Structure 1
């Protein structure tokens, strides 16, 4: 799953696409990650498709002249688990015009159907938040540095992409979320920052866990606001590591969990706990997207790798599917159905698009 952000590049610049076509103006900037088909509907019975094991949730759709239809959607199984790694040849397109009793299959080759690079319209920011209180620095710093480096390698593309960035913060007992490395697309820069952590970096041996949760959520919220400005779609992930409980008592547990619960829907939360002193119930609530726990420092790299895979799978389950429609100007509104078939699992979704202004050819 290390191709997470390499192939995906979270948060696409919709304005780029809107500027060259007749895309809709009412863009929804919130990702739809719950159950259901999003902006889509169940497919018409005339297609004869049975209920499948995959769910296609349409996030956004638009058309671009002279005749391109673009659908941005998420694929998950019926349990809500993300399904990454799908390819264009696993999709079948069906269109139904006003003269059609049912849908007609559209050749994926003749329509130049493709899964386009997500970096065009979706960009993702990851915040890695590390507990560098005294207990970590004195007993597991080397293991944490190794695990963090592995996480960076797994999440960040080897070739920097502006749509994929990460920042690293750390906390101890102070009323501050310390910046270790600002938001960047450089994997090497992030790894150098981690390598530079020393056991004397902290001046306060306590742990302000709840403060770190609140402050990192605020930072992620600001990043989403910036990335969704001007008609874009943006997402952020907060990945927090700790080996203990909140000791500073500067903020309450309720305040921290409320901040996570009410955060922007485009923010994912992951938590990693180490050792016997953590509160797994609290960390599971903080990491509402996914949480993992290591019994000892030797398991740290594995748990960080587990989280990096979950981050990658979630991001890679979003697809930008594009094809050139044979419909032409004057045909009005047309029905569209997309089926995915992996050989072992199947799913489908239906929507509509307007062919106003469509002519021959496609960019």
Structure 2
């Protein structure tokens, strides 16, 4: 009886997966969750689709979401993708030897395994096509400045150290903004890859920085989302794929009432799919339900200022994992000019978990000499 139920469940899931693939086929863009059908498939498969049944792979525990794919003569295939588990948790730190490549040409009944060593498979630096930015937004209203400024500064510097790479990389940038009661998101430090510059700006914050003791929380959410959207648009103009994180800290609720709560939450819900949202709350006056909706990717709360640094660290690790779960995987295909379109499947194994995704590439002009 149990086996029968399991078989029925698998058939239902398979039917849903087919619908999911058809939906992807008519969608466009490189966002990793352009299609959201709440199927518990992490962030979706992006430009990919489920692998053919002929491979006989186990059910996926990991989701490979293809962001972009391209070929380079004489025969290199490049796939840029994000890896997460089926709960959407990012999977950073994968290496080339954890991947298996399968190709299927027009004369192949199913896929053939391609040796990762013979195909010179590698995880390459993704900075050439990918940039990630963090928009850090700090509540510097009177309640923070008067009671927890030093703790906030220490926590923020720790956050910067954890998120920004030890060696400066132009593909990793952060900007810091702050808000109080004014109808303005104040710039503390513009978008930069310089960790020392960011730290210096935080060190320079004084308790007289604000002229309005109120809290325009909803305005800050709306303005920060607009900034993140603009950053992504700019990255596209520079022929790179962008991902961004908005990280907002507050110790209270919206007091200015310039903007409606629903407008702020809708802004987060409708934001570009490649923007992640994190929120950090401090103290007893915060509205945890609202902050959880604002921080739809992840939210954390500190009950007192002594917990603030650990709370910022919790979020910083999640932001870092998100950024480092994107991979540029490249290999030299044995397919040659004249073979036309070929199917490609990539499988990854991480411990006892595995996942795979299928796509295709055109081998026009391919020949030997790739390395």
TM-score, length-normalised on structure 2?
A: 0.88
Taking the TM superposition and a 5 Å limit, the aligned residue runs for 1:37-56 are 37-56=45-64
Partner Cα separation in structure 2 for residue 32 and residue 232 of structure 1: 18
- How far 1:350 sits from its partner (Å)? 1.4
Q: 1:336 aligns with which of 341, 344, 352?
A: 344
Q: Does residue 236 of structure 1 match 2:237?
A: no
SS of equivalent to 2:296: coil
CA contact (8 A) 1:85 1:317 kept: yes
* 1:28 paired residue number: 29
> Aligned in 2, Cα 1:362/1:123: closer, same or farther, shift over 3 Å?
same
Q: Could you tell me which of 64, 74, 81 is aligned with 2:82? A: 74
Residue 123 (structure 1) aligns with: 131
Q: Partner of 1:126: helix, strand, or coil?
A: strand
Retained in 2: the 8 A contact 1:95–1:334? Answer: yes
Matched with 1:9 is none
Contact 2:131 2:240 in 1 (8 A): no
- CA–CA distance in structure 1, aligned partners of residues 368 and 281 of structure 2: 56
Q: Which contiguous aligned blocks of 4+ residues in structure 1 show a shift greater than 6 angstroms? A: none
For these two proteins, the number of residue pairs brought into alignment is: 338
The 1-side partners of 2:196 and 2:100 are apart by 40
Contact 2:229–2:272 under 8 Å retained in 1:
yes
Trace 1:138-177 onto structure 2 (pairs within 5 A): 138-177=146-185
Shift of 1:94: 1.0
Q: Equivalents in 2 of 1:51, 1:67: separation in Å?
A: 31
- Tell me which of 295, 306, 312 is aligned to 2:320: 312
Report the Cα distance in structure 2 between the residues aligned to 1:257 and 1:346, rounded to whole angstroms: 35
For residues 344-363 of structure 1, the aligned pairs below 5 Å read 344-363=352-371
| Among candidates 250, 258, 278, match of residue 270 of structure 1 | 278
Q: 1:29 and 1:77 mapped to 2: Cα distance?
A: 19
Distance, in Å, in 2 between the alignment partners of 1:159 and 1:316 is 15
Deviation at 1:257, TM superposition (A): 1.1
The CA deviation at 1:230 is: 5.0
SS at match of 1:167: strand
Q: Equivalents in 2 of 1:276, 1:180: separation in Å?
A: 27
Aligned counterparts of 2:61 and 2:28: Cα–Cα separation in 1: 29
1:10-29 aligned within 5 A: 28-29=29-30
Deviations 1:59-118 (A, max 9, x none): 221111110001111211122221111110000111111222221111101111011112
Aligned equivalents of 1:224, 1:37: Cα separation in 2: 20
How much is the aligned-residue C-alpha RMSD, in angstroms?
1.6
Cα shift at 1:182: 1.1
Partner of 1:104: 112
- Is 116-125 or 187-196 further displaced after alignment? 116-125
Partners of 2:222 and 2:120 lie apart in 1 by 46
For residues 350 and 231 of structure 2, the distance between their equivalents in structure 1, rounded to whole angstroms, comes to: 35
How do 1:176-195 and structure 2 match up within 5 A? 176-195=184-203
Higher relative contact order (CA 8 A, sep 6+): 1
Is the contact made by 1:128 and 1:240 (CA closer than 8 Å) also made in structure 2?
yes
Ranges in structure 2 where 5+ consecutive residues have no aligned partner: 1-26
- Secondary structure (helix, strand or coil) at the match of 2:237 reads coil
Tell me what 2:304 maps to: 296
